[in-house]
Amino acid sequence: MKFLLLLSALTLVSCGSFEAKRVDSKESDEKALTITNKWLAQDTENVVQEVLAQMTKHKGYKRYRRNHGGTPTVFVGEVKNLTSEPYFPINDINDEFLNEISASGEFILVDEAAREAILNEINYQNGDMVSEETRKEVGKQTGADLIIFGNVYMKPATRDGKTIKQYSVNIRMTDIEKGVEVMRVRTKLSKYSEESKYGW
């Protein structure tokens, strides 16, 4: 009987030591900084917003818009992870970048991810299974005016349990027809951490 009471007490203590609650992204970011020095969701949001702000203010892009007339069509290529971190969330940056470009209204996006599916559908429609009134013709897709690529770099430095990670997110935009660079922007983010003698 005493053993069962002791076991019940230990179970209650162990269950009482854990607490979970929902938090917004800002609070989540602040709490995460106390347990990790890795790239966080808030870091992605911050750098993408900064990059877009720089893009819309860039003199080269403004000049292109004046000469182009109208909203340019853009093909967004891959932003590559060139850091030494194999699990760096580069897909999150690519997704956030596409979402924010779409929401900005500054560009018409060419959907690179859907190209193969679109081609398959058009080929299907131009067979014998779809009526002539509703089928879509081959050769009517919109070509992009601009292409965007980017890279993320990280330079780490560590000494006496202290670490600084200096990230650099670089984006460039090129006129596809002329092969001329329209703009190049960069934003930086640093993450400092200090490891105690008891561990991170």
CATH of residue 52's domain is 3.40.50
Instruction: Measure the CA–CA gap between 48 and 91, rounded to whole angstroms.
Output: 13
Examine residue 146 and state whether it is found in any structural domain, yes or no.
yes
Examine residue 106 and state whether it is found in any structural domain, yes or no.
yes
Examine residue 167 and state whether it is found in any structural domain, yes or no.
yes
Examine residue 129 and state whether it is found in any structural domain, yes or no.
yes
Instruction: Measure the CA–CA gap between 139 and 133, rounded to whole angstroms.
Output: 17
The mean predicted confidence, pLDDT, of the chain is 83
Domain that holds residue 167: 39-194
Specify the higher pLDDT residue, 43 or 1: 43
Examine residue 72 and state whether it is found in any structural domain, yes or no.
yes
Q: Read off the pTM.
A: 0.74
Examine residue 19 and state whether it is found in any structural domain, yes or no.
no
Instruction: Measure the CA–CA gap between 52 and 46, rounded to whole angstroms.
Output: 10
pLDDT tens digits along 25-84: 666 666 656 567 788 889 999 999 999 999 999 999 999 999 988 899 998 888 999 999
Structure confidence at residue 200 as a pLDDT band (50, 70, 90): very low
Examine residue 11 and state whether it is found in any structural domain, yes or no.
no
146 three-class SS: strand
Instruction: Measure the CA–CA gap between 50 and 62, rounded to whole angstroms.
Output: 17
155: Cβ contacts below 8 Å, ≥ 6 apart? 165, 166, 168
Cα 8 to the chain's mean position, in Å?
Answer: 48
- Structural contact between residues 100 and 49, judged by C-beta atoms closer than 8 angstroms: yes
Examine residue 28 and state whether it is found in any structural domain, yes or no.
no
Cα 27 to the chain's mean position, in Å?
Answer: 20
- Structural contact between residues 93 and 130, judged by C-beta atoms closer than 8 angstroms: no
Total domains in the fold of the chain: 1
